[in-house]
Amino acid sequence: MDFDNLYAEALNAWPPEVRLPVRSFVTGHLVDGLTDLEHSIAAQWAGRPHEVLMATLNWTILRAVHAAFATRQSVVMAELPSIRERFETELRLLLKRPHWKELDSKIIREYFGE
């Protein structure tokens, strides 16, 4: 399981372009329906062996898409900036504060080649 394959699999589940209503908010902006979209996409990996990787990757994609909506009215998924560093940072945080089962921690360690 390398990042490029995981990322391609994850992006394949997202629509090629995301268009959702954006509202100004006290601390920035809200993208109506983005969290629901991410949850429905991530749900397809529930119970699968690499669920922890895909859930974390889709959460990281959500954050990148949300950030992109600060300056755009739609987001073309193929144009997202690289999220690998943020994804791997999130995985390392999970290892320090496990929210998953031991098997999931093992999968994360295997991802890093440990």
Print the domain residue range for 64.
3-111
Tens of pLDDT along the chain (114 residues)? 799 999 999 999 999 999 999 998 888 899 999 999 999 999 999 999 899 999 999 999 999 999 999 999 999 999 999 999 999 999 999 998 867 788 899 999 999 998
CA angle 79, 1, 84 (to 5 degrees): 35
Q: Taking the mean position of all CA atoms in its chain, how far away is CA 78?
A: 14
Judge if pTM exceeds 0.75: yes
Distance CA(12)–CA(2), nearest Å, equals 16
10 φ, ψ to 5°? -65, -50
Look at the chain and report how many structural domains it folds into.
1
